[in-house]
Each structure stands twice: as structure tokens, then as C-alpha cells.
Amino acid sequence: MDKKVTVVGAGNVGATAAQRLAEKELCDVVLVDIIEGVPQGKALDLTEAAPIEKHDAHLTGTNSYDATEGSDIVIITAGIPRKPGMSRDDLISTNAGIVKNVVKEVSKRSPNSILIIVSNPLDVMCHVAFEASGFPKNRVLGMAGVLDSARFRAFISMELNVSVENTHAFVLGGHGDTMVPLPRYSTVAGIPITELMSQDRIEALVKRTANGGAEIVSLLKTGSAYYAPASAAVEMAESIIKDKKKILPCATYLEGEYGIRDLFIGVPVKLGSTGIEEIIEIKLTNDEQAALNKSAAAVKELVENLKNLNY
């Protein structure tokens, strides 16, 4: 394979991302984890599935970062997952230390790589990665909006009994309870959902989308979502690897766009071979802008709290 992607964290999200990357034949994959034997075992298991799945991607499992050298993309899923009763924000101090160490290790071995952050709390971990790597802002981005939009699309499809392929949705803001789904930019075969369902039903879907991760945590009881998060990260990686220039909602560092400065917030961006090639500014109503400002304020509070932690 021409491209090499490192996935840090061989838990459910990381291992599933490695599987998706390999089975789409996007790249060779290095799976890294601190637990001895786990990344090696999962990489070997995926390799043994390759003859059946018919791909020739090379998978490596390792406890060392040396094998990651020269990676084009690094997907960081490392960190402790949420348990019932925990918010994403409860993970901040532990995961900040983990992400900081991971980023320092991978960035010195792959100084030209693009970092896709999946670890929670997502928007804050992007700040940690941005500072620890010293990379330009176009090469540090967070996976959130793609996942949240996919959840919104799934709920729209279920509500209207239509193909998910016909659905499109945009979710902006921080990855958490203050995320901002935009119904008037969400469509089925080009028709705004505001024309297809009542305001009450739209509000119910918006609420379910904002609580999408918590709903799965409450059902699983001993873990958190991983199939959809892995797919979302891989969609972002695919757009970069293939230089597809897809417009996807991602956490990116804003410097005045949408009236927000010095924060990682989910907004639509164009993803190509150099990472974030353009931030797309869409016109928001006063209510939508107010909701986005509220979401940004919540992220800013966490970033300020992070500054007081010795991680």
C-alpha cells in the first residue's frame, strides 16, 4: 500500500478503525497499544481475515512507537472510555495526559502526519494534541461532527422509513450535550426535513442525537460506542488519503470564523491530502448562532479547566 496509517489504542474503536481501513484497502495499518499482546493479537486476527475479505493491506500490532515512523495519518483513540453515569468531560484529566504522551511520540516519528483525534472529551483533546505536536492547524482535527451527523441521519431514516443514502445532515459545535444539529440544512433527497416532519418530531430527533453516545453507554453498561465512531474516523481518513475533498463536519481550530476564536469547534471543512483545506462558513440564523456560541462557551470552560491541570 502507498499510504500508512497508525491507529493508537487497540480497544474497540481503534481495532474497528483498523479493520475498516484494511478492508477498504486504503493503507497499511499500524495498531499501537500499551497492553502487551493485544495489538499484536488483533492485528494477526485481522491479517488472517484478509484472505476471506480479499484485501492485501499489511497490519502490524506493536507496543512500541518505532513502527509508526513515516505515517501519513495518525488516528488517536487512546484513553479510558465512558462508563454509565460518566460524562465525556469526566475523562478530561486522565485522557489529557494519555493524549499528550501519544502525540509527542507519534509527532516526532511522523512529523508530516495528519492527526485525527477521537479520544474524549474530543474538543479539548484536540487542544492537547495541537499544543503537544506543534503542527499547523490544518493537520490537527477532531472526529465528532461526522459521527453526530451520522447518528442524526440514522434517526431521520428510521423516522421517515427511507434509505439512509438519501439522508444528509449537519451537526455543528462541541461533541457533547451542547452540539448543534441544523434541521434546515438536513435533507432527504434534497428535501429539508422541516418539510417532511413536525417540529415536535424534529426536536425529539435533535435531542436523541445530542444524547446519542450516552444512549449507547446506558445500553452497553460496560463500554461505549465504537462501530460508528470508527466508521466516522475512517471516512475522514479516506477523504484525506484519496484527496476526495469531501465537505465534512470536523472539530477544527477557529480563528474568527463563526465569530469564534482560539477554540476547536465542529464546523464544515473540506478534507483533502493536506488535511483541512478550507473552513466552510454557512449562514446561521440568530438562534443557530446563539446555540453555537453556547456550545463554544462550554468547550472554552473545559479548555480553561485543562490549563489548571498538571497533566
At residue 255, the pLDDT reads: 97
| pLDDT-based confidence at residue 87 (cuts at 50, 70, 90) | low
CATH code, 286: 3.90.110.10
At residue 89, the pLDDT reads: 62
Domain end position, chosen among 142, 166, 193: 142
Is the domain of 65 the same as that of 185?
Answer: no
Is the domain of 84 the same as that of 109?
Answer: yes
Instruction: Give the 3-state secondary structure of residue 239.
Output: helix
| pLDDT-based confidence at residue 82 (cuts at 50, 70, 90) | low
Q: What integer is the mean pLDDT of 265-273? A: 97
With beta carbons less than 8 A apart as the criterion, state whether 98 and 153 touch: no
- Pull the grid cell for residue 173: 459545535
Q: What global pTM score does this model have?
A: 0.95
Tally of domains in the chain? 2
Segment 142-173, tens digit of pLDDT: 998 999 999 999 999 999 999 999 999 989 99
Is the domain of 159 the same as that of 13?
Answer: no
Is the domain of 170 the same as that of 288?
Answer: yes
With beta carbons less than 8 A apart as the criterion, state whether 216 and 88 touch: no
Task: Please give the Cα distance from 191 to 283 (Å, whole number).
Answer: 18
| pLDDT-based confidence at residue 88 (cuts at 50, 70, 90) | low
Is the domain of 138 the same as that of 218?
Answer: no
Is the domain of 127 the same as that of 202?
Answer: no
User: Does the pLDDT at position 195 exceed 80?
Assistant: yes
Would you call 58 a catalytic residue per the annotation? no
Select which of 55, 58, 168, 175 is catalytic.
175
User: Does the pLDDT at position 81 exceed 80?
Assistant: no
Is the domain of 207 the same as that of 303?
Answer: yes
Beta strand extents in the chain (DSSP E only): 4-8, 28-32, 59-62, 73-76, 114-117, 140-142, 167-168, 171-172, 180-181, 187-188, 191-192, 246-255, 261-272, 275-279
Instruction: Estimate the crossing angle of helix 286-307 against helix 122-133, to 10 degrees.
Output: 60
Domain end position, chosen among 123, 142, 161: 142
C-beta atoms surrounding 53 within 10 Å: 12
Task: Please give the Cα distance from 297 to 88 (Å, whole number).
Answer: 16
Is the domain of 136 the same as that of 157?
Answer: no
| pLDDT-based confidence at residue 296 (cuts at 50, 70, 90) | very high
Domain end position, chosen among 142, 158, 191: 142
Is the domain of 9 the same as that of 94?
Answer: yes
CATH code, 111: 3.40.50.720
Is the domain of 151 the same as that of 56?
Answer: no
Is the domain of 224 the same as that of 109?
Answer: no
C-beta atoms surrounding 141 within 10 Å: 27
Is the domain of 180 the same as that of 302?
Answer: yes
The span from the first CA to the last CA of the chain, in angstroms, equals 37
Residue labelled with grid coordinates 474538543: 123
At residue 131, the pLDDT reads: 96
Domain that holds residue 300: 145-307
